[in-house]
Amino acid sequence: MTNKEIKALISLLEDEDEHIASHVEEKIVSLGEPIIPYLEEEWESSINPEVQKKIEELIHKLQYDGLTSKFKNWKETGATNLTEGMWLVNSYQYPDASLENINKTLDQIYYEAWLHVRTDMHPYDQIKALNHVLFKVYKFSANTKNFHSPANSMLHLALETKRGNPLTLCVIYLTIAQKLGLPIYGVNLPNLFILTYKQENFQFYINVYNKGLMLSKGDIDNYILQLNLNPVDIFYEPCSNLDIVKRALRNLALSFEKMNEAEKAVEVNKLLDSITDESTPETPASENTEDEE
C-alpha cells in the first residue's frame, strides 16, 4: 500500500459504522508493525479520545504480536544470544529500548573488567577481581527496597540504575564473565538465581545478589535443606539461556500480579508459553521466582 492509501485506511477508524471500523482494524493488524508510525501520527493529529484509545490498542496489539514472533524466532534459532533474549523481555514494557545501547554498555563494563581479570589468575582471584569491577567501580547492587518492581526485570534499566533483582544482576555478571572467557553459567536455584564457575573437576558458586559472595556445594546443600526440598541436579548444574529468559518472564509476570496489573501478567505468561515446549514438563526450580529470604 502507498502512504496515501495507508493514511486513508487509518482515517476510516473514525467511521461510526462498527462493521467498517472492525474491518479496518483487521486490515491494519494484517499490515504488521511497519504501520505503527502512521498510527502514531494519526493519534497525534486526532482530537477524538475514542479514536486515540482505539489507536493505542492497535499499536499495543501490533507490538505484542511482533514481540511474540521475535520470541519464537529467538528460541527456534537456538536461543544462543542471552542479551538478545533479555532485551526481548525488556521490549514488552519498553518497546523502544535499544539492544545496541545495551550491548555498548556491556562492552564498556567488559573493557574495564579486562584490565583487572587475567587468565593466569586462580579462579577465586578472578572472581574477586570481577567483583571489584562490578560492585566497587560500577557500584551495582541489589534492589531490596522495590524488589518486585517490574523495572527489576528490565536489563537496560538495571544497567542504567545499577540496581536489579538476582536474575538481572546475574545476567550482567554472566555476560561480562563469558566475554572474558571464564567458565561461568547460570544456575536455577529455587527462590534465588545464582552462578557457577565450572571447569572440569573444579566447581564453586557465586551469589551475585550478595556482591559476588563465593559459595561451596555444601552451602548449596544447606540452602536446599532449609527449603525442605530434595537435592536434584538442576539446583547445582548450569542452565540454558532459554531457561534464564523463561525465568525472567516468570519474574515479570509475578511483578505485574503484585502490582495488580492482571492483564499485563496474562500477556507476559502468554509470551512465556510461546517459548515453552508443551511436551517438556517444567522443573520446580524454574517455576520459582526471586523471593529473597
Question: What is the pLDDT, as a whole number, of residue 291?
Answer: 44
Confidence of residue 265 (pLDDT cuts 50, 70, 90): very high
Question: What is the pLDDT, as a whole number, of residue 42?
Answer: 81
Closest by Cα among 197, 215, 86, 208 to 138: 208
The beta-strand segments (E) located in the chain are 141-142, 163-164, 184-187, 194-199, 202-207, 213-215
Q: Cα–Cα distances in Å, from 39 out to 20, 27, 32, 56, 278?
A: 17, 13, 11, 8, 36
Query: Of residues 286 and 182, which shows the higher confidence score?
Result: 182
Q: Which pTM was predicted? A: 0.88
In the predicted model, is pLDDT for residue 292 greater than 60?
no
Buried b (16+ CB within 10 A) or exposed e, 85-101: bbbbbbbbbebebebee
- DSSP character string of 128-139: HHHHIIIIIIS-
Confidence of residue 66 (pLDDT cuts 50, 70, 90): very high
Closest by Cα among 187, 202, 211, 199 to 130: 211
In the predicted model, is pLDDT for residue 35 greater than 60?
yes
CA distance 176 to 109: 7
Q: Look at 117-126, 141-150, 153-162 and tell me which has the smallest mean pLDDT.
A: 141-150
Q: Cα–Cα distances in Å, from 268 out to 4, 100, 175, 244?
A: 35, 23, 24, 15
Question: What is the pLDDT, as a whole number, of residue 8?
Answer: 79
Closest by Cα among 59, 26, 23, 17 to 42: 59
pLDDT in tens, 77-93: 999 999 999 999 999 99
Question: What is the pLDDT, as a whole number, of residue 38?
Answer: 87
Q: Determine the 3-state secondary structure of 197 from DSSP.
A: strand
In the predicted model, is pLDDT for residue 281 greater than 90?
no
User: What is the average per-residue pLDDT within 57-74?
Assistant: 94
Question: What is the pLDDT, as a whole number, of residue 29?
Answer: 84
Mean predicted lDDT score pLDDT of the chain: 90
Question: What is the pLDDT, as a whole number, of residue 13?
Answer: 76
Strand 141-142 and strand 163-164: the pairing is: parallel
What's 163's DSSP letter?
E
Question: What is the pLDDT, as a whole number, of residue 132?
Answer: 97
Domain ranges of the chain: 3-76, 82-287
In the predicted model, is pLDDT for residue 108 greater than 80?
yes
